[in-house]
Structure 1
């Protein structure tokens, strides 16, 4: 036995992996043919952590539950959804949707900046992030994300829809793909569409074989996969180099690229994400979420598998076609129901290696139409809402002012 081990020890990991795959396939076939498919909800730190903490301890968390005004937990069949809403009730209404790895805190500085200009804003944690619960095995697709936007709106103490009410949508990264999808289905609800380093049109060559295997095959047991992905997210992947549009995106890149980059020992200036809790920083709450939210990795994996990250060309093209009709018509209904200025505003980072500038400009122009999109750029990577929030708010406000 010892001699066999010495001769074959390099094969053992592959034998174990093969056994794992075989067992996983068997379990998968059993589940397909069984009726035990009941949906459940994985609780968030609201239930698993906060009850154990004093008010002082809760306030000292990397993501404190009172980071923004008027927090509410909206109950639904998909679990509880954490929503914040503040600003003048008669102000311009804006909903902000964050990306795949961070909770809504990443858009806090932009939300504060818009409130300073008189807007009424809604921020919320997507399912499985921050203080929102995680529905499983519900696919975290555009359908679920659309429902969360509608839940956030319906739970507001003021009216956001009906009687001529419309609102602006701002989406960052995955949130960009989400709000574009929402707008394509509910065009008369949305007065303005703003995309920050948006997903949706990511080119296929940027998806690694490792990503496809880990996120899409279903051959490895989910618990094992969650452990692998959690370790990758915790350790991070080396960032890809800017200016290489054929560079493949590593499995943990959605997390590592949303972190502010340090260059030559100089930490970039970061925006104040929460005025109630000014000590909040992105690296701290990213690590905290991995440890404190039992549903985060499940939500992250499902979002990679089912979310509007790539292949959304027809969805975006539908927006472009409506804008073409709006801009060519003198009908009064378009003035009331169309997107402001007859364009979509896209803001990106020169140094972004996930959403590459030249590719985004080419692909978004092709599906939306060159007359229906406006591009603005900041000197940043994918983390632009954190490091360039003032410039971003400035671009948004100027766009609204015409």
Structure 2
């Protein structure tokens, strides 16, 4: 025997019973869904490969092999594998060198050996998305970079170190010192440091290329093939510039990492972190060194004065005619200033 809805609701005319059914049924279904639905599985972090994925005969690996410095090794961290090097006497004073936006640790090619020869134990590494470190598909903000360094220090067994950063690495050094002051010995050196840049100092081309729309285009396979075609045609002459060009062409995570760093990374808006570094270093009798070139067209020399307003006790070393890539063009002056500062 079957029962119809009208039999269950005898006082209602068939049309009213059907209307009641249409009103109640969706509510019952929706309520049942919320009681029974299981959370979606979290998406896994996608990680783009580094230069390590390219053939050993690749031009980029010829310019910058993974054994460019002695004491190299890889460590797998939550956001991907990181390449690092430890050079200099094992029991020397510990110093971390942080590179900038687009050029990996090769930027220290003349400075790092000089520090090692003076008895320092030097830790170099490639930031996420550059060189031999993986490129996670995530936001490249200051927290990503400072956490990378904190985990790397933990892995190599360093409880504290002096911190040196160039360009964007200076912004990372300031943010790291503000977030993890207990991991900083007592000295921080900022070379042509980003972190306080204004949007007006960035070219329209830079802003356009780092926009989400252009990144969608530049990340496409046809566009990357075009970049590879251009990269294979003719060398730019400078090994450093050539390395940047080859990373852009052959590493799918490089351009997004650069673009995200420009939009959300430690290039701008770090005034509170610089101020915190100033307060903490003065409180602990620490010291801060600024090294800047007067011909810097990327982070102009006037920013040295702005940093000093936030860190009044910071010492400034001015290099006349020094461009932005000052660790390459004026390596001796930079090295001597760092050795003098770190040995005090």
Kindly indicate whether residue 158 of structure 2 is the aligned counterpart of residue 160 of structure 1.
yes
Kindly indicate whether residue 319 of structure 2 is the aligned counterpart of residue 350 of structure 1.
no
Distance 2:126 2:215 in 1: 24
Quick check: 1:229–1:297 contact (8 Å CA) kept in 2?
A: no
Deviations 1:76-98 (Å, cap 9, x if unpaired)?
Answer: 22111011112111101011010
What's the TM-score once normalised by structure 2's chain length? 0.78
Kindly indicate whether residue 49 of structure 2 is the aligned counterpart of residue 43 of structure 1.
yes
Quick check: 2:215–2:255 contact (8 Å CA) kept in 1?
A: no
Match of 2:216 among 217, 220, 223: 223
Match for residue 251 of structure 2? 293
Instruction: Return the offset for 1:225.
Output: 4.4
Kindly indicate whether residue 113 of structure 2 is the aligned counterpart of residue 169 of structure 1.
no
Distance 1:302 1:293 in 2: 15
Deviations 1:170-207 (Å, cap 9, x if unpaired)?
Answer: 10100000011000112232121001100011123213
Instruction: Return the offset for 1:229.
Output: 9.9
Match of 1:186 among 180, 183, 204: 180
Match for residue 399 of structure 1? 341
Instruction: Return the offset for 1:310.
Output: 1.1
Q: Is the partner of 1:150 in helix, strand or coil?
A: helix
Deviations 1:107-155 (Å, cap 9, x if unpaired)?
Answer: 121111100100101111111111111111x111111101211232122
Q: 1:59 to 1:353 in 2, by over 3 A?
A: closer
RCO comparison, higher one (Cα < 8 Å, 6+) = 1
- Aligned pairs for 1:191-210 within 5 A: 191-210=186-205
Kindly indicate whether residue 317 of structure 2 is the aligned counterpart of residue 376 of structure 1.
yes
Deviations 1:298-320 (Å, cap 9, x if unpaired)?
Answer: 11111111111011111111112
Distance 2:223 2:147 in 1: 27
Q: 1:377 to 1:233 in 2, by over 3 A?
A: farther
Distance 1:232 1:195 in 2: 33
Quick check: 1:184–1:318 contact (8 Å CA) kept in 2?
A: yes
Q: 1:60 to 1:153 in 2, by over 3 A?
A: closer
Quick check: 2:104–2:127 contact (8 Å CA) kept in 1?
A: yes
Q: 1:203 to 1:117 in 2, by over 3 A?
A: same
Question: Which ranges of structure 1 fall in alignment gaps of 5 or more residues?
Answer: 1-33, 236-255, 261-280, 327-333
Instruction: Return the offset for 1:232.
Output: 9.6
Distance 1:315 1:287 in 2: 32
Distance 1:59 1:69 in 2: 18
Quick check: 2:278–2:310 contact (8 Å CA) kept in 1?
A: yes
Q: 1:206 to 1:49 in 2, by over 3 A?
A: same
Q: 1:132 to 1:224 in 2, by over 3 A?
A: same
Distance 1:225 1:131 in 2: 21
Question: Which ranges of structure 2 fall in alignment gaps of 5 or more residues?
Answer: 1-39, 231-235
- Aligned pairs for 1:2-401 within 5 A: 37-46=43-52, 48-50=53-55, 53=56, 61-136=62-137, 138-156=138-156, 159-161=157-159, 166-190=160-184, 191-216=186-211, 218=212, 220=213, 222-226=215-219, 281-324=239-282, 326=283, 334=284, 338-339=285-286, 343-357=287-301, 359-369=302-312, 372-378=313-319, 379-401=321-343
Deviations 1:18-58 (Å, cap 9, x if unpaired)?
Answer: xxxxxxxxxxxxxxxx9885421111131x324xx47xx79
Q: 1:311 to 1:376 in 2, by over 3 A?
A: same
Could you say which structure has the larger radius of gyration?
A: 2
What's the TM-score once normalised by structure 1's chain length? 0.67
